[in-house]
Amino acid sequence: MTAVSDELRANGRVIALVPTMGYFHRGHLSLFQVAKANADLLVVSIFVNPIQFGPAEDYRGYPRNVDGDRAMAQNAGVDYLFCPEADVMYPSGYSTYVEVTALQHLLCGAFRPHHFKGVATICLKLFNIVKPHVVVFGQKDAQQAVIIRRMIQDLNLDLEMIVAPTVREPDGLAASSRNEYLTSEEREEAVVLHKALEHARRLIESGERRYETVRGEIVALIQEKPLAELEYAEIVEADTLKKVDPLRGDILIAVACRFGKARLIDNIALKI
């Protein structure tokens, strides 16, 4: 992969990278479109990264479909599919990790303490291997995007990062590979996450600025659903991920909730 990238760069070609864990859906395809619009060639990586999963999480059971992904990538105009194995990315004796300390333990990091250490590490490795000029991430994984942007800035990486909008199903549920885990009843209830976020948006746009009021209504709406196990509902500064009260500036309203086997996240960004 690095040899291919070196040759492409030597010929003046602009390379975009979309890092993924595979099991492609419409959200991934939208990232590919954004990447292709900003580069000459598109590399998509597929790697289910073991070091971003906790011991009790779904690494073994994470949905995989490499043959289906390959067909979708080809139809979407992906130029190169990079699918390394875990023992190649983390050979015997591997001992180097990347941590974005100010951001990695907030929001999802409070519930998945090693997750973003794994995410930052694998992203830096992919950036070094693929040598892209442009990388594209999705807004659905907002904390991930904030952390990777900070890593790029802090480590003086010579690449541009683009965050593409969240892709949703017709009823508002954010596209996610983990939606595959949902039963029909859980799938019906999971729409409450988007509805709660939109309710919060309307409250703020109508003039509400109190953190506890807006957060309280998000929590109440989600907890009306018997299958929902809310992990967090937070309103934070978009760049620091710290609680903001009263609500002002660039903010992120973010939720994480379990429905059975599925842990779902969603968010909306607002400028007040």
Q: Does residue 172 fall inside a structural domain?
A: no
> Domain of 118: which CATH number?
3.40.50.620
Residues 129 and 230 in one domain: no
Q: Does residue 69 fall inside a structural domain?
A: yes
Residue 28 annotated as part of some ligand binding site? yes
Q: What does the alpha-carbon distance between residue 91 and residue 113 come to, in Å, rounded to a whole number? A: 23
Residue 56: its pLDDT value, please?
Answer: 87
Residue 61 annotated as part of some ligand binding site? no
Residues 75 and 184 in one domain: no
Residues 72 and 104 in one domain: yes
Question: Which residues are marked as active site?
Answer: 28
User: Among candidates 125, 61, 65, 66, which has minimal Cα distance to 97?
Assistant: 125
Last residue of a domain, one of 131, 164, 197: 164
Domain region containing 234: 177-271
Residue 10: its pLDDT value, please?
Answer: 98
> pLDDT tens-digit profile of 32-84?
999 999 999 999 999 999 999 999 899 999 999 999 999 999 999 999 999 99
Provide the whole-model pTM: 0.96
Q: Does residue 23 fall inside a structural domain?
A: yes
Q: Does residue 169 fall inside a structural domain?
A: no
> Domain of 183: which CATH number?
3.30.1300.10
Q: Does residue 171 fall inside a structural domain?
A: no
DSSP states along 181-249: G--HHHHHHHTHHHHHHHHHHHHHHTT---HHHHHHHHHHHHHTSTTEEEEEEEEEETTT--B-SS--S
Residues 60 and 135 in one domain: yes
Contact criterion met (CB below 8 Å) for 149 and 161: yes
> pLDDT tens-digit profile of 189-198?
999 999 999 9
Residue 26 annotated as part of some ligand binding site? yes
